[in-house]
Amino acid sequence: MTIDALIFDKDGTLFDFTSTWARWAEGLLLRIAGDDRARAIRIGQEIGFDLSAHRFEPGSLVIANTPHEIAAVMSPLVPEMTEEALFDLINAEAEIVTQAEVLPLVPFFEGLRRRGLRLGLATNDTEAPALAHLEAAGVRELFDFIAGCDSGHGAKPGPGQLLAFASAIGVDPSRIAMVGDSTHDLFAGRTAGMHTVGVLTGVAGHEDLAPHADVVLPDIGHLPAWLDR
């Protein structure tokens, strides 16, 4: 097996999902509900977030869906806002949320670059928050390719973002590995003809990812050892 490039999911893969997005969900829900906590709890239930327990349900809409899809589900519960205004608010809150890195990302990605690997990122977040998060972590310039759900290549579980990465760097998909924390990531990787690597820094468990992954790792820090094997 030869791997020349890696394409990563963002949330739950580079950044710990619960630590990062529970703060986002709480702030967003309370802002939408005008600090009416009971209403915020009800809206949270629709997107699979338990505000009282500060945790996401395994099937939460937030885990792998796009901001447009999240806004569409929430919109009927927030009639005082248009769906587009809700989408804009979701993005605005996402852009400023503090990201919890799963490990120090700068030395990790610099190490992958020293191996000669090309690096990409494919997220179902929109592009602007994704760029802001990578910039804040100091790793934006280490990526050859960055795509959000609005970058013109579709969204996962479709393979469009992944195939666009392969085309952009001139590497056959069979020599690329997709690394992610959700089945959406792994489905996209398999459909694109790539190797698939699951990581356990999101909400999905080993039993969810294993049927669709070549390997399931505790976190991305275990990638170099897997590549050496």
pLDDT at 213: 98
Task: Please write the tens of the pLDDT for every residue from 167-202.
Answer: 999 999 999 999 999 999 999 999 999 999 999 999
> Using CA atoms, how far apart are residues 163 and 90, in angstroms rounded to an integer?
28
Residues 83 and 196 occupy one common structural domain: no
Same domain, 118 and 219: yes
Half-sphere exposure of 119 (CA within 13 A, CB side): 20
Domain ranges, residue 30? 18-96
Among candidates 67, 109, 53, which has minimal Cα distance to 221?
109
**Mean pLDDT value of segment 69-90:** 92
Query: Residue 93: what pLDDT?
Result: 85
| pLDDT the model gives residue 158 | 97
Residues 134 and 192 in one domain: yes
Please tell me whether residues 90 and 160 are part of one structural domain: no
Based on the domain organization, do 173 and 72 belong to the same domain?
Answer: no
Report, in angstroms and rounded to the nearest whole number, the Rg of the chain calculated over CA atoms.
17
Model pLDDT, residue 15 = 95
Same domain, 115 and 190: yes
Are residues 32 and 44 located together in one domain of the fold? yes
Give yes or no: residues 53 and 87 share one domain.
Answer: yes
Number of folded domains that form the chain = 2
Regarding whether 90 and 156 lie in a shared domain, the answer is: no
